[in-house]
Amino acid sequence: MGNGGKFVEREQAGELRAQSWTLQEIADELGVAKGSVSVLVRDVDFVPKSRNRGHSSHQPHPLHVKKLAEIERCKAEADELFARLTSRERDLFALGLYAGEGEKSDKRVSMANTNPVYLRVFVTWLREEFVVDEARLRVRLYLHDGLDVDESNEFWSVALAIPVGQFQKPYRAEANETRRRAKHVRGCATVAYSCALTHRRVMARIEAVTSLFVLPG
């Protein structure tokens, strides 16, 4: 596309942005990447659409408007930056997850989290990077009393592609008014694979990466 085409595209994007169109809506309309739209309209003031149609006269605070626009722009930039992942980038992300959340004992590879996406990344990486005996994968849920165990088991089974028959007896947390009241509806899942060799290979890779960051002195 020549400079003339780029100018027209920028004008169109700016007009739509001024009408409170989101970056994704503009990208769909113009047939371009959302990250490209972010660049085209970065100088255009953005006022988000009012959620309450009955009070259209209410204007959001300028700082709130700026915050929303900045969040949207950051998301667009990130989407464009990570539109595709190489296997090496995927491996580094998984290693970072495990370094922060994984079990460090020498007997098994194990990670607990309430976020199914993180655990799905972990399990997928484990399956693709190492030789895994599927029958030895285990899941255990930490679930507050009163929440549906069967529903949670089914949810995590689908998310992790691990049969419910390989789930261990869940830990049911009893109600305690002295603790925080926030409850994760699906519970916290722990995925474990008992294999000392796999654990040693994972920890060796983490050490190899972290050793590149030499501390001063």
Angle (deg, nearest 10), helices 149-160 and 116-129: 40
Place of tokens 């989407």: 79
**pLDDT of 53:** 47
CA distance linking residue 11 with residue 215, whole number of Å: 49
Per DSSP, the residues of 27-50 read HHHHTS-HHHHHHHTTTS---PPP
Give the domain ranges of the chain.
3-81, 87-210
| pTM for this predicted structure | 0.69
Question: How far apart are the C-alpha atoms of 48 and 18, rounded to whole Å?
Answer: 10
- 13: confidence class by pLDDT, cuts 50, 70, 90: confident
The confidence score (pLDDT) of residue 71 equals 86
Would the CA dihedral through 215, 205, 120, 34 be positive or negative?
A: positive
The answer to whether the beta carbons of residues 82 and 53 sit under 8 Å apart is: no
Q: Of the segments 38-47, 61-70, 106-115, which one has the largest average pLDDT value? A: 106-115
Q: What is the distance between the alpha carbons of residues 151 and 126, in angstroms, rounded to a whole number?
A: 25
User: Quick one: pLDDT band at residue 33, thresholds 50, 70, 90?
Assistant: confident
Which of 104-108, 162-166, 176-180 is modeled with the greatest confidence? 162-166
Q: 87-210 in CATH: which number? A: 3.30.1330
Reported confidence tier of residue 51, pLDDT bands at 50, 70, 90 = low
Query: 147-157 pLDDT, tens per residue?
Result: 889 999 999 99
**Chain mean pLDDT for the chain:** 84
